[in-house]
């Protein structure tokens, strides 16, 4: 496959467990490929959904910065440390990992995306996120940036379950073992000792005392993933 190749494998499964696979592959101009894929996907979805089939997508890309996977990490959210990250789907390079008071505000999460776009002087062709409300700003900004390639925004933005967002989920799993588990155990010990109730004041104290320390530990733990 060339560096400009885009391949989409669509699997159609019906209630009788029979499945059919159709592959679309383009190695020419990306804008025409996206337009053609969008049109054909819409045609197949309309045709086969009426016949009782379920459509699944598997996307293969051959170059970095084609798709970014974005997700929240909430293991430390009960203690006031709310994380969000984005990872490149091809190289597994972390685009950003941030900790703040919230990861539910779409303006905050959208700001992470726009900061990365400005820092890298460009954006991916596709963003893959959870369907939650915190990603609506990322969705709208990304569709606007690529409005000339995909006017309807049907292909440049994908959303699905967190478990299906495997690139970023794999990073969270490794980060938990390398960094988060230590902090989670420490905060749980405070909670069991009656020193942490989870109210607004306690979360504020944790954020004031530990957030910068946690960010330092997070940067060290993320170093093997070439955090930019």
Domain boundaries, the chain: 6-61, 65-228
What's the CATH number for 65-228? 3.30.420.10
* DSSP 3-state of 25: strand
Q: For 42-79, how does the pLDDT look when each residue is reduced to its tens digit (9 = 90+)? A: 555 556 556 665 555 555 566 788 889 999 999 999 99
pLDDT at position 222: 79
* Alpha carbons 58 and 25: distance in angstroms, whole number: 12
The sign of the torsion formed by the CA atoms of 35, 36, 41, 44 equals positive
Under a CB-based contact definition with an 8 Å cutoff, are residues 89 and 164 in contact? no
Q: If residue 118 lies in a helix (H) or strand (E), which one and from where to where?
A: helix 106-120
What are φ and ψ of residue 96, in 5° steps? -155, 150
* Alpha carbons 2 and 62: distance in angstroms, whole number: 7
What is the CB neighbour count within 10 angstroms for residue 36?
16
* Pairing assessment for the beta strands 94-100 and 82-88 based on DSSP bridges: antiparallel
Under a CB-based contact definition with an 8 Å cutoff, are residues 71 and 131 in contact? no
Under a CB-based contact definition with an 8 Å cutoff, are residues 72 and 84 in contact? yes
Residue 177 pLDDT > 80: yes
Closest by alpha carbon to 138, among 194, 71, 202, 49?
71
Mean pLDDT along residues 126-131: 89
Apex CA 17: angle with CA 11 and CA 22, to 5°? 20
Concatenate the DSSP letters of all residues of 68-102 into one string.
Answer: EEEEEE-TTGGGT-EEEEEEETTT--EEEEEEES-
Under a CB-based contact definition with an 8 Å cutoff, are residues 118 and 138 in contact? no
Residue that wins the pLDDT comparison between 28 and 153: 153
pTM, rounded to two decimals: 0.74
Q: What strands lie across the sheet with 19-26, from one edge to the other?
A: 19-26, 6-13, 54-61
Residue 6 pLDDT > 50: no
Q: For 184-201, how does the pLDDT look when each residue is reduced to its tens digit (9 = 90+)? A: 999 999 999 999 998 999
pLDDT at position 202: 93
What is the CB neighbour count within 10 angstroms for residue 142?
27
Residue 98 pLDDT > 70: yes
């Amino acid at each position: 496959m060339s560096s400009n190749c885009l391949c989409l494998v669509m699997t159609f499964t019906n209630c009788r467990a029979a499945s059919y696979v159709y592959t679309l592959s383009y190695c020419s101009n990306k804008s025409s490929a996206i337009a053609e894929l969008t049109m054909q996907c819409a045609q197949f979805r309309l045709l086969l959904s009426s016949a009782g089939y379920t459509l699944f997508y598997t996307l293969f890309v051959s170059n970095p910065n084609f798709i970014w996977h974005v997700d929240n990490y909430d293991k430390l959210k009960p203690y006031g440390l709310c994380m969000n990250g984005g990872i490149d789907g091809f190289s597994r390079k972390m685009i950003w990992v941030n900790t703040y008071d919230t990861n539910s505000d779409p303006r905050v999460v959208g700001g992470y995306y726009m900061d990365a776009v400005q820092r890298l002087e460009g954006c991916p062709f596709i963003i893959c996120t959870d369907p939650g409300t915190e990603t609506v700003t990322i969705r709208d900004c990304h569709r606007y940036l690529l409005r000339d390639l995909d006017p309807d925004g049907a292909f440049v933005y994908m959303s699905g379950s967190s478990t299906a967002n495997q690139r970023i989920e794999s990073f969270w799993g490794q980060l938990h073992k390398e960094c988060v588990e230590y902090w989670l155990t420490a905060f749980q010990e405070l909670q069991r000792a009656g020193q942490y109730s989870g109210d607004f004041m306690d979360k504020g104290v944790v954020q004031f005392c530990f957030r910068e320390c946690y960010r330092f530990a997070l940067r060290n733990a993320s170093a093997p993933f070439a955090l930019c």
